[in-house]
Amino acid sequence: MSHLNFTPAYQLAQMIRDRQISATEVLEAHLDQIAKYNSMLNAICTLDAENARIKAKQADEAIARGEHWGALHGVPVTIKDIFETAGLRTTAGYIPLKEYVPQQDATIVARLRSAGAVILGKTNMAELAGDYQSTNSLFPRVNNPWNLAYTAGGSSGGSAAAVAAGFSALDLGNDIAGSIRQPAHFCGVYGLKPTDRRISTAGMIPEVPGMPYCLRQMMTVGCFARSIEDLRLCFSLIAGADCRRPDVPPVPLDIPSGKSFPHLKIAWSDQWPEVPVAADIRTAIQNAIQTLLETGAQVEYWMPSNFDLSKILNLYTRIAAYINRYAQPVDRHNFKRSIKQIFRTATQGDQSLRNLGDFSLVLPELLKPSLKGYFIALTEHDRFIAQIDQALEAWDVWLTPVAATPAFTHRPAWSAVEIDGRSYPHAVANGAYTMPFNLSGHPAIVIPIGQTQNGLPIGLQIIGKRWREMELLTIAQQIDQHLSGFRHPSLSMPVDSTGDQKASE
């Protein structure tokens, strides 16, 4: 295993620029890693090795001429299969798109290319980004690099697994209910969900080609990395206004306040009262808080006084019903998949928890949406954003769990998850800690803070103020310096007696 596979992107770019190593050498190290381990993980679904080699060679020739393409000159990256890539198959794990080759890059892909990145290929995902596991009808399921019997999360499981396993220095993902943050937590990497509408979604599916642009609320685009520095680099390259998406405002990147760590006011919650987290997660968060307190940080337990999770999740599902009603394609396969999701969410898991995230409660709006109902939901949405804005005024950041569960074993889509002897509905186990901040639009970063007793990663969610990503990244880096940081999986995965590959713990 080459050290290059786990060298941060910003360092690789500097090494290539200084001619300490060639872009071709960096690329080949990543291709070797993919050749060794991707058949176990299924993280990359479309590899573009030939074109990547051509691009890496051109990057080396440019350096020799004294040319510099940008901040990612010669650095290999992967792209979630939900973003269009010119000349490279883009499927979103959806059968009708199995041969779809876009003519134009998604805006964020074009921005990485213009910064000199070498695109290795596309990463596997949940079908049409519709699950907290990464399974679809086109490619084998994504396995967690820490233990192949467990899911890497979803919908961006391939992205998180690829970065964790050293297949790629960076990956792009999207997040409407936790699709960046939950896989980052499950795979032990860093993930950034920016402010709603901070980054263009142009060229992103699940609005399949020909469908109207419906995902105008709660859907964000972000990135995966193995360090805060790389999140900052990637975010600064892909953020900003886009003529293809006029609803992305021309808000400049913020300038961090420069507060010293002891002067930050940090709020924390180890669980929502209605949705207890796994004991290992709660212990890891409490240990992290204790470590921060020992550094002299101002850290205080806190919950907003009017944070009604049941109302929050109900509003989230109502808006999601409206925007997905027309964004999702109408075909027999997708209809059956959606009905199965609603049925399992409504019937599996503890009754009190089902009431928090029961998609069947929004069936009237899903089956017979009205313009008035949509505007009522949007009005409530605006009130909630203002509520969280006001609640966070007193704090620099808010630390929370990412999910109620660490990575769990593979199971049928949207099946219940067992947490410390209690059955949780799938959406509640995975989304109860992420959906509120899709609804409010606040930026969030996930950092690794430890492991469960059986060696699975645990992440911490750090919530910041809207439009203050650079401040959030700076604070997250200060927090991260005192905690465990990224650890790569051993990838020594023996085959057990049943023929299934499992990672050693």
The pLDDT value recorded for residue 355 is 82
The pLDDT value recorded for residue 492 is 59
What tokens appear for 336 in the block?
């059956």
The pLDDT value recorded for residue 501 is 39
**At the topology level of CATH, where does 3-480 sit?**
Amidase signature (AS) enzymes (3.90.1300)
For residue 176, give Cα distances in angstroms to 66, 197, 456. Answer: 42, 12, 24
Under 8 Å CB-to-CB from 195, ≥6 apart: which residues? 220, 441, 442, 443, 466, 467, 468, 469
pLDDT digits (tens, 9 = 90+) for 292-302: 999 999 999 99
- Return the bridge partners of 463, or none: 398, 444
Out of 22, 179, 227, 484, pick the active-site residue: 179
Out of 80, 122, 193, 465, pick the active-site residue: 80
Compare 420 and 343 and report the one with higher pLDDT. 420
Beta strand 457-463 with 397-400: parallel, antiparallel or unpaired? antiparallel
Q: Tell me phi and psi for residue 401, to 5 degrees.
A: -65, 165
For residue 432, give Cα distances in angstroms to 274, 277, 279, 342, 488. Answer: 10, 10, 16, 16, 27
What tokens appear for 472 in the block?
């959030």
Compare 355 and 229 and report the one with higher pLDDT. 229
80 is catalytic: yes
User: Does residue 339 have a pLDDT over 70?
Assistant: no
Measured from the Cβ of residue 444, the count of other Cβ atoms closer than 10 Å reads 32
pLDDT grade for 59, boundaries at 50, 70 and 90: very high
pLDDT digits (tens, 9 = 90+) for 125-168: 999 999 999 999 999 999 999 999 999 999 999 999 999 999 99
CA 47 – CA 37 distance, rounded (Å): 13
504 is catalytic: no
pTM given for the model: 0.95
CA 277 – CA 422 distance, rounded (Å): 11
User: Average model confidence (pLDDT) for the chain?
Assistant: 93
Measured from the Cβ of residue 293, the count of other Cβ atoms closer than 10 Å reads 13
Section 426-443 average pLDDT: 97
Q: What ranges make up the beta strands (E) of 297-378?
A: 298-301
Q: What is the DSSP letter of 177?
A: S
Out of 55, 122, 134, 155, pick the active-site residue: 155
pLDDT digits (tens, 9 = 90+) for 372-381: 999 999 999 9
336 is catalytic: no
CA 147 – CA 121 distance, rounded (Å): 23
What tokens appear for 451 in the block?
């492991």
The pLDDT value recorded for residue 438 is 98
- Helix ranges, 398-456 (H): 426-431, 435-440
The pLDDT value recorded for residue 504 is 31
Nearest to 196 by CA among 443, 389, 4: 443
End-to-end CA distance of the chain: 18
User: Does residue 266 have a pLDDT over 90?
Assistant: yes
